[in-house]
Amino acid sequence: MEERPAALEDLGRLRILILSTAYPLRGGIAHFNALLARALASRHDVQTITFKRQYPAFLFPGRSQQEQDDQPPAPPAPQLMDSINPINWFAVGAAVRRLQPDLIIFKYWLPFFAPCFGTIARVAKHGTRTKSLVVCDNVVPHEHRPFDSMFTRYLFSATDFFIVQSRAVERDLIAFNPGAVYRYTPHPVYEIFGEAIPCDEARRLLGITASRVLLFFGYVRRYKGLHVLLDALARVLPGLEVLLLVVGEFYEDERPYRSQITALGLDSHVSLHARYVSNTEVSRYFSAADAVVLPYLSATQSGIAQIAYNFDVPAIASDVGGLAEVVQDGVTGFVVPPDDPEALAGAILRLYDPGMRELLIRNVAVEKHRYSWGSMVRAVEEMAGI
């Protein structure tokens, strides 16, 4: 059950240590942690520790785990943790215990990391007043593997407090750990990719001449539903010319998607950018897009919508997990049933009704202020003050 502590009079400066993926490692979670550290550092003393080995190479489907950007999101964090070496977990835990932080924060998205995080938490907290907090991207992962529940329970049993960022994850946490002490605060807007640029300029930089542009952004796996979006696009094109940008690494075989594109006659209407996009490029793609599309088959939440909101870009999303909490149907975008190309095509057509996109953009510009890093900081402080 969610408990609410008494109001805090004066927390003072907390010593906070974030243990998770972080620059020089790449990806959305590293970006989240950079922004979290920056927000917390305005009021507290914050350090970050990341992995020297995050995934064994054979388990990582992408091309590189390292950020390769001229404008990194944060100073490089010490790379100390090894996700698969138990001896390292005890050594890092002992090093953290010597620092005696008030609070350790783990950003958690995959049970694979639970043995590492859970061991470090136990060793670091032993004989100290240090508390641990887990920010949950997921409790139940998108793609289930053996030992998921056992690993997650191992970490959660060493955790004092939790933060969830969607009601879907809240429900999963309560079902998995009914006694969890937690706060719900929505996933903040990603502010790490700079400002929007004029749409015409963004399209010129990308070599786009189409007048209508949709964006699918992020790595590609089956549960992300790109195949559903391609089917929907084929239904849209007889009445409306649209270009779909698919931007992100394929974490599975590209060939079925390319075959689907050709079979549906979409070769001139889909532009594949099958690679990891640097931070400096992100604004171009979102600024060029009329809307971002999240046709997920399953989800708890998605940082992609928060990137879109940063650029005042509406979203079209499946009604799965917490996506409909962020994308308000008819207000900041459209919400459709999952795995329904016909409904998705209808939402795309509705986006281009006269005046509709302009209305959605105005609403996004107002709504995005709900998703502040200040709310996340207050949630962390409340947990630390219990």
| pLDDT for the residue 86 | 97
User: CATH code for 199-370?
Assistant: 3.40.50.2000
Instruction: Please report, rounded to a whole number, the percentage of residues in the chain having pLDDT higher than 90.
Output: 70
280: which 2 tokens? 């400096």
Could you read off the pLDDT of 197-233 as tens digits, one per residue? 999 999 999 999 999 999 999 889 899 999 999 999 9
CATH class of 15-188+371-384: alpha beta
| Secondary element (H or E) of residue 382 | helix 373-384
Residue 318 has pLDDT above 80, yes or no: yes
Long-range pairs, 330-337, Cβ under 8 A, ≥24: 331/360, 331/363, 331/367, 332/360, 332/363, 332/364, 332/367, 333/291, 333/360, 333/364
| pLDDT for the residue 11 | 46
Cα distance between the two ends of the chain: 15
Q: 328-343 burial string, b = 16+ CB within 10 Å, else e?
A: beeebbbbbebbbbeb
pTM value is 0.84
Between CA 362 and CA 371 the distance in angstroms is 16
Could you read off the pLDDT of 156-168 as tens digits, one per residue? 999 999 999 989 8
Domain ranges for the chain:
15-188+371-384, 199-370
| pLDDT for the residue 384 | 83
Examine domains 15-188+371-384 and 199-370 and report if their fold is the same: yes
| pLDDT for the residue 134 | 97
C-alpha separations of 67 from 23, 27, 311 in Å: 7, 8, 22
| Secondary element (H or E) of residue 285 | helix 279-288
Could you read off the pLDDT of 184-194 as tens digits, one per residue? 999 898 888 88
Between CA 68 and CA 48 the distance in angstroms is 19
Closest CA to 310 of 198, 225, 190: 190
| Secondary element (H or E) of residue 214 | strand 213-217
